[in-house]
Amino acid sequence: MRARIHMTVLSPDMRLLLATVFTLFSFISQAAVIVPKAPDLDASAYILMDAESGRVLVEHNADERLPPASLTKMMTSYIAVHELEMGNVTENTLVPVSEKAWRKGGSKMFIEVGKEVKLIDLLRGIIVQSGNDASVAVAEYFAGSEEAYAGWMNQYAERFGMDNTHFVNATGWPADEHYTSARDLAKLSLHIVNDHPHYYGLYSEKYFEFNDIRQPNRNKLLWRDPSVDGLKTGHTQAAGYCLAASAVRDNTRLIAVVMGTRSDEARARETQKLLAYGFRYYETRKLYEGGEVLQTAGVWLGADDSVELGVEKQLYLTLPRGLKGELDVNIATNEFIEAPVAAGDQLGSVTISKDGEVLAERPLVALSAVEEAGFFGRLWGGIKLFFAKLFA
């Protein structure tokens, strides 16, 4: 493994001093990698994203505001599952069925007015059967009304950075000012996969039976591609046929969102094209473990004179398969770190680039605490720190 080291002195005003560039690794291939152009899909908008790094591999009209149809239910189910994970409800919590929920048209779970249904069954009704009636029942239970629940959904959308999304209802029923984008749905998909892994398996279930009515999951890729394990389909006349899909192969998970295709068959076919392209030409590599020591920095006025720094969570990158060359890791730390330091304090940053293109940037945090020195240690350290700053 070859190394290239550069020292960069940064502005004291930015509180940054060190910039050390290491060679992270070299790939085995000895020839330059040429990645072909992604296929053009017969769809209004689409995006392909890696689930670990969040890197976008392919996009087309990804920020265009479009009607999401039943892809809306991804947020409907996310919030309900989050409430489960938080312990505010249980799988066996009984949810009453209102007349509004029972009467709701479109795809149905076939719940009955006046009865109570377990929350876990309603979640399967939303995710597997795409039940509008189940979505309304859940919305009314958690927020009092579907409209109030839609407002809650918008709060989550804002938190997730879904800048081109606005929900009016919990079902995806056509409505003015009810829209989202392919990129926003990919962001939501990432949260569904990563935030609630215990319940993500619901999205891979092929059938669900309720009230003696057995319905299949409308995601055809669950039957055609064993690597696909979610997420959701949607269709209205305005939205066309839409699909958000997730698949994992060789430790690489990809998220594909395709919107506005012409048929049920087309959305499956076009999504499969996108996933096949991504898995053929890209792979995800883990660069660092969370808590791995990347740098040791000096500490002033502390009981210890240094602190170990690293990234808080595992750091992944998605790169072309067989890529030749070096990844540059630029580590920058605060110029004068003073005790006390708490574990998790951000004390710098790590930036990873390839041929000048920034691929990832993460905060560099203290991996352990450093307490203040005693009185005389602080006194003598303060004198040294004064002159260090004076001559910096």
Burial class of residue 82 (count of CB atoms within 10 Å of its CB; 0-12, 13-18, 19+) = middle
Burial class of residue 30 (count of CB atoms within 10 Å of its CB; 0-12, 13-18, 19+) = exposed
| Of 370, 367, 390, 364, the residue nearest 301 (C-alpha) | 370
| Of 191, 77, 197, the residue nearest 131 (C-alpha) | 77
In a 13 Å sphere around the CA of 110, the CA atoms on its Cβ side amount to 9
How far, CA to CA in Å, does 26 sit from each of 4, 247, 264, 322, 323? 12, 27, 43, 10, 8
Alpha helices in the chain (DSSP H): 73-86, 99-103, 119-127, 132-143, 146-159, 182-195, 197-200, 221-224, 264-281, 375-391
> Catalytic residue positions?
70, 73, 130
- Tokens for 32, please give them: 């330059």
What is the Cα–Cα distance from 247 to 237, expressed in whole angstroms?
27
